[in-house]
A = this chain, B = another copy of it.
């Protein structure tokens, strides 16, 4: 008997998820909800938690051994950023030629560099990804099949000319819009849009003395929400993207210093210009036309 050709279209693919936490679990839930795979294999280190994810319907098969992925056509590595490169290389050794590996890490340059320099087995390919979805929560208990719908996924093939059609197709099948960028350009961009806001939110949250809590209204809550993110995960992210985050911090501190000096000089016009320009930028995000 000839087995049917694996393809997402006829739902015959085997997809493996390494690291079944918030993002890995959400991917499993979305793939299963949309019937995008014949089987979803979940790989993790904690047997009990992995069985829980299986019982919750996020994966079909649970395994603590990488050997469990040998039939996978597509592998998505969803471990913390400081473990992704090693997990990709370990997974690759178990895969058949023709299979593809991607990841869901928030930082791309260091990961792609480490994987490229180590070389993958013949016929096994890696294309980096960063789905911009998730929350400050951790653990598959917060998995959400809808979290990818309408969101952006950055895909970072290296070299840029590499065919990444299969990976683009996968994220698009979850309802995401895909953007192709180089790993370095990705890291410089998210330093500003994601990592810098995290540092700033944490900085503000760290100034919340107990007696100030009654006065912390929605503005403070919104501005600091992401500071509730997992400290270990975010330490890895910031360290992995240290250069661009440092640059962003320097630029932000310079701006805050200008505002400090404008307040000291009672220069209302400088403050008004700064706030009006920032508001124009923020309004664009909400789809309000820029003046």
Give chain A's interface residues, CB within 8 Å of chain B. Answer: 132-133, 135, 151-152, 154, 177, 179, 189-190, 192-194, 196-232, 234-236, 238-239, 242, 245-246, 248-253, 255-257, 259-260, 263-264, 266, 268, 271-272, 274-279, 281-286
A272 to B277, CA, bound (A): 34
With the chains together, A250 CA to B281 CA distance in Å? 25
Contact of A252 among B135, B204, B226, B277 (CB under 8 A): B204
Q: Which 4 A-B pairs have the closest CB atoms?
A: A202-B278, A231-B275, A231-B276, A197-B223
Give the oligomeric copy count: 2
User: What residue of chain B has the Cβ atom nearest to residue A248's Cβ?
Assistant: B207
Tell me whether B133 and A205 are in contact (CB under 8 A).
no
A238 near B252: Cβ-Cβ < 8 Å: no
- Nearest B residue (CB) for A264: B246
> Nearest Cβ in chain B — how far from A188, in angstroms?
9
B239 engages A266 (CB within 8 Å):
yes
**Can you name 15 extra interface pairs (CB under 8 A) apart from A189-B212, A249-B256?**
A179-B214, A189-B215, A190-B215, A197-B204, A202-B274, A203-B259, A206-B274, A206-B278, A208-B281, A227-B279, A231-B275, A235-B275, A238-B259, A242-B264, A246-B263
CB contacts (< 8 Å) of A192 on chain B: these are 207-209, 212
Given A190-B215, A274-B202, A275-B235, check contact A285 B253 (CB 8 Å).
Answer: no
Minimal Cβ-Cβ distance residue in B for A208: B281
Chain B residue at minimal CB-CB distance from A82: B268
What's the minimum C-beta distance from A162 to chain B, rounded to whole angstroms? 21
8 Å CB contact of A206 from B209, B223, B255, B257: B255
Shortest CB–CB separation between residue A181 and chain B, in angstroms?
9
The reply to whether B217 and A256 form a contact with Cβ atoms under 8 Å apart is: no
Taking CB atoms, residues of chain B closer than 8 Å to A135 are 218
Q: What is the bound-complex CA distance between A274 and B177, given in angstroms?
A: 34
- Whether A281 lies near B199 (C-beta < 8 A) is no
Q: Pick the contact of A219 from B177, B206, B226, B251 — CB < 8 Å? A: B226
